[in-house]
Amino acid sequence: MQNLNLIQQLVVFILPLIFAITVHETAHGWVADKLGDHTARSMGRVTINPIPHIDLVGTIIVPLALYALTTLSGGGGLIFGWAKPVPINPRNFSNYRRDTALTAVAGPASNFIMLLIWAVILRASMGMESSIGWVAEPLAYMAVGGILINAILGVLNLLPILPLDGGRVLASLLPPKLSMSYAKLEPWGLFILIGLMVTGILWPLMRPMLQLVQTLAYSVAGLM
C-alpha cells in the first residue's frame, strides 16, 4: 500500500470497507431471521445491497476521514466504522440466550468469511498479471485492503465489550444475575473502547488474533 498515494488508498479501501460493514449487519439479520426473529427481514435489512445498511457518518465519513488523518500523521492508517444497526427482537427467539449469542457471533464470522474470499481474489489476481495486468494490480490492492479491513472488524467485534458482538456473546454465556450486572456497563462501552485506543492498549490486545487471521488469509492467497 506504500506505493499508493492517499487518494489511491481511499479508492482501494472504499468498496471492501462498505461491504465489510454492511455484510456484517446482514449476517446478524439473516441468522436472527433463521432463529425466529423476522424483524430485520420485514424492514428490508436482510440484503447484501449496501444502501439500506449505510450510515453516512459511520460507514463512509468516519472511516475514510480517520484513515486519512492517521495516515497523514504517520499513525499507520486506522480503520474504524459502523453501519446502521440491524433491528433484532430477542423476545422472538425460542432460546433467548443461545440465539442471542448465535446472532451476535454471525457478524464477525461474516468478516472472516469475506477475508477468505478476498484472499481467493488476491490469488486469482496474481494469475492475471501476465495477461491483464491493468486489472490485476488494482484488484490485488483491493483484495489486500479487503483482508486488512475484515481482519480488523472481525477481531475488534469479538472483544468482550458491550455493545460489541463479543460483549453480547459473553453476556449470553454468563449466569443470569452476573449477565444483568455486566449489561449495565453497555452505556460505557464506547468510552471504554475509545480509552483503549487512546492509551495504545487496543492494538496489542488485538494483535495476536489479527496476525493469526491474516496469516491464514495470505496462506490461502499462496503468499506464505
Helix (H, G, I), strand (E, B) or coil at 100: helix
C-alpha–C-alpha distance, residues 26 and 33, integer Å: 10
25 is catalytic: yes
The alpha carbon torsion through 84, 152, 10, 27 (nearest 10 deg) reads -40
Angle made by CA atoms 94, 186, 183, in degrees to the nearest 5: 50
Question: Which entry of 25, 129, 137, 186 is annotated as an active-site residue?
Answer: 25
> In angstroms, what CA-CA distances link 55 with 35, 61, 100, 172?
26, 9, 24, 28
The alpha carbon torsion through 201, 151, 171, 197 (nearest 10 deg) reads 20
C-alpha–C-alpha distance, residues 34 and 31, integer Å: 5
Q: Catalytic residues, which ones?
A: 25
